[in-house]
Amino acid sequence: MGFVLPPVAASGDSAAYVVARSSFDVLFNIGGWTLGLGALLAALAPPGRALAWRPLRGLMGLAGVLGLAVNTSFLLGGPGAPLIGPAVVLTALALLGAGLALGRR
């Protein structure tokens, strides 16, 4: 997107910039929503080697619910945007913990 938005903005066509930026925002939020749904489903699945530790499953579930909530809020025009980054970071930390748990066995 970094190769698309600056030239569009420099062209002076503000309508084209708004369309490009809005498309990026929607696609980014659909990806964030998918990440949240995946984290929630991983937390709800039967415990495996990676998520056997209960606090890690809880963290994964919290990350999933937060990711779904804030991305859905943003897509519906709500105030979810400031929490999208923390939701992604929380999911990344839970995935890091799952990877470390797999590496120990």
The structure tokens 């579930």 sit at 61
pLDDT tens-digit readout, 34-88: 999 999 999 998 888 778 888 999 999 999 999 999 999 998 989 988 999 999 9
Residue 43: CB partners within 8 Å, gap ≥ 6? 51, 57, 58, 60, 61, 64
Rounded to 10 degrees, the C-alpha dihedral 40/43/48/53 comes to 150
Rounded to 10 degrees, the C-alpha dihedral 31/34/38/44 comes to 150
pLDDT, average across residues 26-36 = 92
Dihedral pair phi/psi, residue 67, rounded to 5°: -60, -45
pLDDT at 2: 57
CA 54 – CA 61 distance, rounded (Å):
10
pLDDT at 53: 85
pLDDT at 16: 75
pTM above 0.95, yes or no: no
pLDDT at 30: 92
pLDDT at 51: 82
Give the single-character DSSP code of 47. Answer: P
CA 67 – CA 64 distance, rounded (Å):
5
Residue 51: CB partners within 8 Å, gap ≥ 6? 42, 43, 45, 57, 60, 98, 101
